[in-house]
Amino acid sequence: MRLADRRIIITGGGSGIGLETALRFQAEGARIAVLDRSPKSLDTARTHLPQAVVVECDVSHEASVQRAVEAAAEGLGGIDGICNVAGIGTRKSFEETTAEAMMTDIGVNLMGPFLVSKAALPHLRAAGGGTIVNVASGLALRPTEGRTAYGASKGGLIVMSKAMAIDLAKDKVRVNVVCPGLIDTPLVKDTSHGASFTPQQYEKLMDRRIIRRMGEAREIADAMLFLTSNESSFITATVLAVDGGGSMH
């Protein structure tokens, strides 16, 4: 098994990409702690991951993160890796974007990974090193209209991750980024058009992609598995676009 006995925190692990990643990692031998703030997602995690440590957590609040990470570390007996998947996505033009909307996206998408990684760092050091995989977005590589706050928060996450990789190399902690494209998940359905895509809207979206389809959550989970496993032992500060060629960066 590629993650035998690895102890991994997955934020946003009760739905979408996070849940798929948790299931994939568990199948590869990892012990999982799911951090999520949605009661529905927490129930889903408990149902589908009965062996996991499931903890309520709002990643944008430091006190909540500290409590959740300590509970995860206690339940798992330590921490070897983090997958920062939790995210939100405001869809408004620059003119429509308020300061509150900007800070909300930054609070979850940028400060969330910062706070979780910061709280887990002593445990990663105690384990002799580990991995951090942050989930940004293809929109951080190639922005589109109406995504000012979201794009800014995810773009900041890419730069922060590279800086983290430099600073944490001495602790044998590798930090990498996955940038999903348009993936068939609840987040996309909530922030794009979801099941109400018209044929014209769908074709317009596909015109931006070499592989002309939406991605699947399992395809992002596979990328995160690679960056968490020893197969990527010489990879850090890397940004991996898993977007069907949508960004072509």
Positions marked active-site: 150
140 close to 184: Cβ distance less than 8 angstroms = no
Of 129, 132, 119, which Cα lies nearest the Cα of 160? 132
Round to whole Å and give the CA distance between 139 and 124. Answer: 30
Which 3-state string (H, E, C) describes 69-126? HHHHHHHHCCCCEEEECCCCCCCECCCCCCHHHHHHHHHHHCHHHHHHHHHHHHHHHH
Are β-strands 173-180 and 130-135 bridged in parallel, bridged antiparallel, or unpaired?
Answer: parallel
- In angstroms, the CA 92 to CA 86 distance is 20
Helix (H, G, I), strand (E, B) or coil at 140: helix
Nearest to 4 by CA among 23, 25, 34: 25
Angstrom distance (rounded) from CA 225 to CA 115: 22
| Burial of 137 from C-beta contacts in 10 A (0-12 / 13-18 / 19+) | buried
Q: How far apart are the first and last CA of the chain?
A: 33
